[in-house]
Structure 1
Amino acid sequence: MYHLYKYAVIFVFSIVLGFAFNVFLLPHEVLTGGVTGLAMVFGLLTPLNSGIWLVILNIPILIIGWMKLGKEFIWNSIFSVLVTSLSMQYIPIVKITDDALLSAVFGGVIAGISVGFIIRFYGSTGGFDVIGLVLTLKRDIPLGGLIFGLNSIVVFVSGFIFSWDLALYTMASIYITGILIDRVHTRHIKLSLMVITTRGEEVKNELIKNLIRGITVIDGQGAYSNTNSKVLYTVITRYELAIVKSLITSTDPKAFVSISETVEVIGNFRR
């Protein structure tokens, strides 16, 4: 059920991303960042549609992602890239406003929300999303800010090919996209998770089976009820919170769960 929900979310937001490109950004030649931006450049300069270039340019990067981020991530990413590419084929490029700045702002907002949800459900739109996620495995850097830095090259490309006014609109668009990605995708935020449950073994096994996390198990007793229970403690990323809550509530609906934001983690924490 979760996998069906995940693919439904990726499918919907991939179409919304294609809508943002064709309705807000491409009509004013305002680009998005990274490989997607380069695909838009090639789409504007060649007879091939930007969606086709998006697939071609993503092939080597998805191979890197396969090696570093795993098969599930790459299949989700391929699914997202293909849906975005197809949506860009069928959604007409129309200009709904003559104001390029408005298009840059709203296109950046819609693109940022879409990319954020796609990444949150363990996918990507390819390109610098993959490179950024590989780099965040080594350091806890906000993904949106990292992608903004990597994507800045597109600003200079668009400046030389088109005009510097459009380059500045592009900078505004990818900056807004980066901010929205960090609002939606919060993997760099660490959470302390404490679970008090009478089904300690089942909850522990479910968490270990679905998360690569160390878990500390402590014997506990209710002060009021005198009921023996288990206290499970671990640290997760905000990115994993949705699946953790689903696992716990399905295994023990009566479990007491405390979740708090962690300032810093020192030691062997798998990013």
Structure 2
Amino acid sequence: MDLITKGLEKVVDMVKLRVINFVNIFLSSVLIAFAWNMFLLPHKILSSGVAGIAMMLALITPINTGIINYALNLPLMVLGFCKLGKRFMFYTIFSVTVTSIALLLIPIKAISSDPILSSVFGGVLAGIGTGLIFKSSGSTGGFDIIIFMLTRKKELPAGMLMFALNAIVIFVAGFVFDWDSALYTMLSIFVSGKVIDAIHTKHLKLTLMIITDNGEKVREHLISKLVRGITIMDGEGAYTRERRKVLFMIISRYELAGVKRLIKEIDPKAFVNVMETVEVMGYFRRDG
């Protein structure tokens, strides 16, 4: 009975987490659409990535941003679903869908007449929404999917790739509209990035040090759910003198929320230290 009870508790906890993630992604996606339609679009200020391209096309055509955003993301989502993690892509598809629908329903109306204030507050709100979606193991689609596929097998500088892709959006915005709009767009992207970093980690790779009394069970659980290598060492508490296992692993930023959940399922009392990883030499599998 105890095994059945524990199994049911794990299923309930998993369902609760999925529901919480979907609710967070839903509200965050609506917040992003609100930031675009109420702060950025009225002043011809763009967001980053594919969303920025969608906003630019919407401003020069009669088609709504939501329709263009979904149309541009659709082929990327199909490719991502085939190449990347299924759960990650389910959350991403849900986020893009909700954002696109919200863009259709929320009217485009300027809350502030000041483009600088609109750039800052629009960037803050979009950054909060994006950061919370990252924490829920999803993404907002667009360039995130492209970067993941480009860096999945090769050691390419993800940060530089993202900067280059966003720079193209800003550069084109300067020619299509004016350079003031391009500079406001740059300000909005900068503020949004800072907010995302405050909520979530900005680094592509993270190193986890896991200290647990259930080292073998944690190892088996992580390996069964992730395609990641794990290094195990013996540890001893300095005060208690108790023997524990120390597990080291490197993951991508999008896996962090899921890995913490997996560890908690086996050992809620495990000590987990999450460290920023500047560089990884050697083989690092990128299809997580």
Question: How do 1:60-79 and structure 2 match up within 5 A?
Answer: 60-79=75-94
Distance 1:264 1:157 in 2: 32
Q: Which amino acid aligns with 1:190?
A: L
Distance 1:46 1:256 in 2: 54
Question: How do 1:49-128 and structure 2 match up within 5 A?
Answer: 49-128=64-143
Shift of 1:22: 0.5
Deviations 1:130-182 (Å, cap 9, x if unpaired)?
Answer: 11222343337465x64332022222332222222112211222233334344
SS of alignment partner, residue 235 of structure 1 = strand
Contact 2:204/2:253, CA 8 A, preserved across alignment: yes
Q: Which amino acid aligns with 2:68?
A: W
SS of alignment partner, residue 210 of structure 2 = strand
Identify if the C-alpha distance between structure 1 residues 218 and 178 changes in structure 2 by more than 3 Å, giving closer, same or farther: closer
CA RMSD, 1 decimal? 2.7
Identify if the C-alpha distance between structure 1 residues 32 and 242 changes in structure 2 by more than 3 Å, giving closer, same or farther: closer
Aligned twin of 2:281? 266
Distance 1:177 1:146 in 2: 18
Identity percentage of aligned residues: 49
Contact 2:206/2:274, CA 8 A, preserved across alignment: no
Partner residue of 2:268 out of 247, 253, 257:
253
Matched, 1:134 2:149: yes
Q: After superposing the two structures, state which structure 1 stretch, 60-69 or 173-182, moved more.
A: 173-182
Q: After superposing the two structures, state which structure 1 stretch, 102-111 or 62-71, moved more.
A: 62-71
Deviations 1:54-81 (Å, cap 9, x if unpaired)?
Answer: 1111122223322332333322222111
Contact 1:17/1:110, CA 8 A, preserved across alignment: yes
Aligned twin of 1:40? 55
Identify if the C-alpha distance between structure 1 residues 18 and 215 changes in structure 2 by more than 3 Å, giving closer, same or farther: same
Aligned twin of 1:212? 227
Shift of 1:87: 1.1
Partner residue of 1:202 out of 204, 217, 238:
217
Q: Which amino acid aligns with 1:24?
A: F
Shift of 1:226: 6.4
Distance 1:260 1:140 in 2: 21
Identify if the C-alpha distance between structure 1 residues 221 and 135 changes in structure 2 by more than 3 Å, giving closer, same or farther: same
Distance 1:182 1:146 in 2: 17
SS of alignment partner, residue 25 of structure 1 = helix
Deviations 1:113-133 (Å, cap 9, x if unpaired)?
Answer: 322332343322222221122
Structure 2: give runs of 5+ residues left out of the alignment: 1-15
Contact 1:186/1:239, CA 8 A, preserved across alignment: no
Identify if the C-alpha distance between structure 1 residues 254 and 70 changes in structure 2 by more than 3 Å, giving closer, same or farther: closer
| TM-score of the pair, normalised by structure 1 | 0.85
Shift of 1:85: 0.9
Distance 2:273 2:173 in 1: 48
| Count of equivalent residues | 269
Matched, 1:12 2:15: no
Identify if the C-alpha distance between structure 1 residues 52 and 25 changes in structure 2 by more than 3 Å, giving closer, same or farther: same
Aligned twin of 2:8? none
SS of alignment partner, residue 204 of structure 2 = coil
Identify if the C-alpha distance between structure 1 residues 115 and 141 changes in structure 2 by more than 3 Å, giving closer, same or farther: farther
| TM-score of the pair, normalised by structure 2 | 0.80
Deviations 1:92-115 (Å, cap 9, x if unpaired)?
Answer: 212111111111122122222322
Deviations 1:20-58 (Å, cap 9, x if unpaired)?
Answer: 101110111111123212221222222221101111111
Q: Which amino acid aligns with 1:194?
A: I
Matched, 1:242 2:257: yes
Distance 2:27 2:119 in 1: 21
Aligned twin of 2:183? 168
